[in-house]
Amino acid sequence: MSQYYSHAVSGEKQASDGASAESKIHALVERVLAGQRDVFEDIVFLYRDQVYATTWQLTRNADDSMDVAQEVFIRAYRSLSSFKGKSRFSTWLHRIILNTCVDYIRREKRHRANRIDFNDPRDKDHDQATSAMESESAIDPNQREMIYQSQIQKQVLEALTHLSGRQRDVFVLRYYQDLELKEIAEALRCSEGAIKRHLHRCHCRLKELLRDLKP
């Protein structure tokens, strides 16, 4: 009984802490919108680790993730008036993170398709990485695995651009932010059944888009 009571108190405290955090961020947003622009730095401080962690998971590149994270906060500042408090601020911010990452991968895809500069160091790096992957003895196994994982991540992110907005939201919240189905349902204000259906469609669509990906 005491153990049950302890868990209940712990759950209530977490809920209270979450509500308190949301109240705090809502107050900060209102202050920014009221003209106290420097207060936005407090919002950046609160969410910078989360934003960077997510952009890194989606890009798997330190420099790119920093650039994308900076763009995320610029977009968040410009569209702050669209935050109505109907969902958690982190969920609202997540959509900006995902859309920014999607735009990033689309730009990268266009640039690589249009670029015919064989002296471009990025092309050299890509060619060397590809050659390294083809040669079992070219580099040590750890480095080869890092290159392979980076290539997979880019293919997965590109595939995500073909999903609907809601499907991308569900997929990233589940697999990149490790939220449970109940948490995702609460964040997106829909039923767990709807979340399960979106995930199933995501799996089917991604399986089709990534069917040529080597295991």
The total of structural domains in the chain comes to 1
At 148-160, the pLDDT tens digits run 776 777 778 778 8
- Distance from C-alpha of 177 to C-alpha of 88, rounded to nearest angstrom: 14
Q: Calculate mean pLDDT across residues 41-64.
A: 87
Once rounded to an integer, what is the mean pLDDT over residues 109-116?
57
Residue 106: per-residue pLDDT: 75
> How high is the pLDDT of residue 110?
66
CA separation, residue 114 to residues 111, 117, 157 (Å):
5, 9, 20
Average pLDDT of span 64-82: 94
Note whether residue 31 is domain-resident: no
Amino acid at 141: P
Q: Please check whether residue 71 lies inside any domain of the structure.
A: yes
Where are the extended beta strands (E) located within 9-140? none
Q: Taking Cα atoms as reference points, which of 138, 152, 148 lies closest to residue 58?
A: 152
What pLDDT is recorded for position 139? Answer: 59
For residue 18, name the pLDDT band (cuts at 50, 70, 90): low
Q: Is the pLDDT of residue 76 over 60?
A: yes
How much is the average pLDDT of 62-68? 88
Is residue 30 one of the residues assigned to a domain?
A: no
* Dist CA 68 CA 166 (whole Å): 21
Flag whether 11 is in a domain: no
Say if 188 falls within a structural domain.
yes
Residue 35 lies in a domain: no
Residue 15 lies in a domain: no
| Residue 36 scores a pLDDT above 80 | yes
- pLDDT band at 6; cut points 50, 70, 90: very low
pLDDT in tens, 165-213: 888 888 888 887 778 898 888 878 889 999 999 999 999 998 888 887 7
- Specify if 214 maps to a domain: no
- Whether the per-residue pLDDT at 73 is higher than 50: the answer is yes
Distance CA(151)–CA(141), nearest Å, equals 15
Query: Containing domain of residue 187, as a range?
Result: 51-209
Query: Is the pLDDT at 118 greater than 50, yes or no?
Result: no
